Amino acid sequence: MSGNLNLTSRRDRTRLNLMQALEDAIYFRRLRATEACLDCDPDGTPCDDHACDLRLIGDYRRSLDAVIAGVVVTGGDTGLPGQ
């Protein structure tokens, strides 16, 4: 996304909300991924739940980067996981 956000613009407010939601999701998954877990291997290999968290962090990060770059369009494929 080039330039400053125009908060009177519906499109920019929508993009800002999406960026905030993705940042919140990344934060939440990072917290979960760092929790101690008896199912994770001592060698550092994550359990299925933590591996899923790490994959989602990557997906959310790529989606956030796309929003910032202005690639995401309204309607149709947003590039978000699960859509």
Name the more confident of 72 and 49. 49
29-36 long-range contacts (CB < 8 A, ≥24 apart) are: 29/53, 29/54, 29/56, 29/57, 29/60, 30/57, 33/57
Structural contact between residues 53 and 29, judged by C-beta atoms closer than 8 angstroms = yes
**Rounded to whole angstroms, how far apart are CA atoms 6 and 4?**
6
pLDDT digits (tens, 9 = 90+) for 6-44: 667 788 888 889 999 999 999 999 999 999 899 999 898
The yes-or-no verdict on residue 81 having pLDDT over 70 is no
Sign of CA dihedral 31, 33, 34, 38: positive
The yes-or-no verdict on residue 70 having pLDDT over 70 is yes
Residue of 14, 25, 24, 28 lying closest to 72 (CA atoms): 14
